[in-house]
A = this chain, B = another copy of it.
Amino acid sequence: MTPPSEPISLSPEARPAEGRAVLPLYDQDPTERADAARNRAKLLEAAAALIREQGAEHLTMDAVATAACVGKGTVFRRFGDRVGLLFAVLDQTEREFQNAFMFGPPPLGPDADPVTRLEAFGVESLRRLAADMNLYLEADQQASARYGAPPRKVRARHVSMLLRRAQVEGDVELLTETLLGTLDPAFVNHLLTNRGRTAEELESGWCDLVARITHHC
């Protein structure tokens, strides 16, 4: 069972880790200047603190800059835009999850059968989503960023691989995207908040969908 690749960071600048550690390393773009790296760390820390205190929905770029004692331009230079900053804050968590489903123990990791792994993948996604829903919702706003982001690609590769190993016939890529669509933050939040669904229902709904797609007659 060959791990497909290194975990891929949310931040465009970050590079793949050197080793095959199960937990991701805090790697940086080596060409980044010392002061830039320092400011990046200060900004991430400030952003995380502000999100903890006031919620991601009230995070303003000015506030982050001020809290980190840094000019506003620096925030944009480091993270591109607001969504980029939010992604960077989510980065750590994202990479843990990636490691778990690529290298970790069953049922998520490689030592389980594909259908079990698919089920576990969705269930774990839903739980992590629930844990940081507001942050994910904020980061999700821009439609363009939603699908192109590296973590999404990693997940898509992973799910496609599992579908193929489960001998699924048909347009695997399209089925993959359909499955991932079910885990979209805004979508899950809608079901939980406006449709009165419980987390358990969503989890078993995911497993049912996996069954329908993999056991099609």
Q: A208-B171, A213-B212 known; A137 and B148 CB under 8 Å?
A: no
Q: A170-B208, A182-B178, A182-B181 known; A194 and B147 CB under 8 Å?
A: yes
Q: Can you list 5 residue pairs at the A/B interface with Cβ under 8 Å?
A: A143-B189, A174-B202, A174-B205, A181-B182, A215-B216
Total chain A interface residues with beta-carbon distance under 8 A: 40
From residue A153, how far is it (CB to closest CB) to chain B in Å?
10
A91 within 8 A of B: no
Partner of A184, one of B171, B181, B208: B181
Task: Name A204's closest neighbour in chain B (CB-CB).
Answer: B171
CA distance A148 to B175 in the complex (A): 25
Q: Is the CB of B187 within 8 A of A177?
A: yes
